[in-house]
């Protein structure tokens, strides 16, 4: 993928739930600085477990393997330490604070920061991405639409000023138009300097903005490669795109003309 040291390197990670469920089985990935990397897979493949393992949200996990971020071994660090180092996580289902206003939710994203000028600049950046949040700033987050909550969740994560943004199913439950809008913003966030690791069932949209992808099945990586390599793989086309080889290649060429990879 890249000769430079990756921003994130996950090596042979094994994660368990209790003593019975072996959720991740020797998973290894790399995320180069400045890239968008996609992890594809069906429900139950282990995608969310993987992000939570990287983020330090599962106690005493991974049981085996290593997670390195920004040149440091962060294996089994707690999430607060990982955030302070420059990683942010947008969970599946948004998980905004419903009884707080939109503005209060954004401020929660920057709770650990002391650089007021930087915080103000990042607020302006978030509002530029999502102008609707300014209009809704005094509204309780729990009363927002699903799309607005997704925007708020991404904005809250950006308030930590992350080097790496982890996104878990950002298209979940959204109308197609909103999905396109959200992915356009993710592309813009990346182009303006934030590395993105994207977990997504909507393979078509994910591969439209990613430069490299992994396919996860029952806790194992079964395919990986550059986007054009994944699109050339018959199994990926059949099970994740549902299109013919010719249609997949044409779709990729359309995306490639729009991107700067």
For 213-225, how does the pLDDT look when each residue is reduced to its tens digit (9 = 90+)? Answer: 999 999 999 999 9
What is the 8-class DSSP label of residue 20?
Answer: T
Cα(62)–Cα(12) distance, integer angstroms: 10
Q: What is the mean pLDDT of the chain?
A: 90
pLDDT at 135: 95
Alpha helices in the chain, H assignment, sequence order: 47-55, 79-85, 102-109, 116-129, 131-135, 146-158, 176-191, 203-209, 227-231, 234-236, 245-258
Claim: this prediction has a pTM higher than 0.85: yes
Bond prior to 180 in cis (omega within 30° of 0): no
Residues of the chain with pLDDT under 70: 1-3, 242-261
Domains and CATH numbers, the chain: 1-86+163-174+194-261 (3.40.50.300)
Q: Which tokens in the block code for residue 190? A: 């990346």
For 121-172, how does the pLDDT look when each residue is reduced to its tens digit (9 = 90+)? Answer: 999 999 999 999 999 999 999 999 999 999 999 999 999 999 999 999 999 8
pLDDT at 201: 85
pLDDT at 45: 92
Q: Name every residue whose Cβ is closer than 8 Å to that of residue 154 and which is 6 or more positions away in sequence.
A: 90, 129, 130, 165, 167, 170, 182, 185, 186, 189
């Amino acid at each position: 993928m890249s000769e430079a040291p990756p921003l994130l390197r996950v090596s042979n990670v094994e994660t368990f739930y209790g003593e019975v469920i072996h959720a991740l089985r020797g998973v290894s990935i790399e995320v180069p600085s400045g890239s968008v990397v996609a992890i594809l897979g069906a429900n139950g493949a282990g995608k969310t477990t993987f992000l939570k393992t990287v983020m330090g949200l599962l106690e005493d996990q991974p049981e085996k393997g290593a997670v390195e971020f920004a040149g440091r071994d962060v294996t089994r660090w707690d999430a607060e330490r990982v955030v302070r180092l420059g990683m942010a996580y947008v969970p599946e289902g948004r998980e905004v604070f419903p009884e707080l206003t939109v503005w209060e939710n954004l401020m929660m994203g920057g709770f650990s920061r002391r650089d007021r000028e930087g915080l103000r600049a990042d607020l302006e950046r978030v509002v530029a991405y999502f102008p609707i949040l300014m209009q809704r700033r005094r509204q309780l987050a729990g009363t927002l639409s699903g799309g607005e909550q997704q925007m708020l969740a991404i904005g809250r994560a950006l308030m930590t000023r992350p080097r790496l943004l982890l996104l878990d199913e950002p298209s979940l439950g959204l109308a197609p138009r909103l999905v396109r809008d959200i992915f356009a913003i993710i592309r813009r966030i990346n182009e303006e300097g934030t590395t993105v690791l994207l977990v997504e069932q909507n393979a078509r949209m994910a591969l439209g903005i990613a430069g490299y992808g992994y396919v996860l099945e029952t806790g194992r990586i079964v395919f990986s490669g550059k986007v054009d390599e994944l699109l050339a793989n018959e199994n990926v086309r059949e099970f994740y795109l549902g299109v013919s080889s010719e249609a997949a290649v044409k779709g990729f060429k359309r995306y490639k003309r729009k991107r700067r990879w």
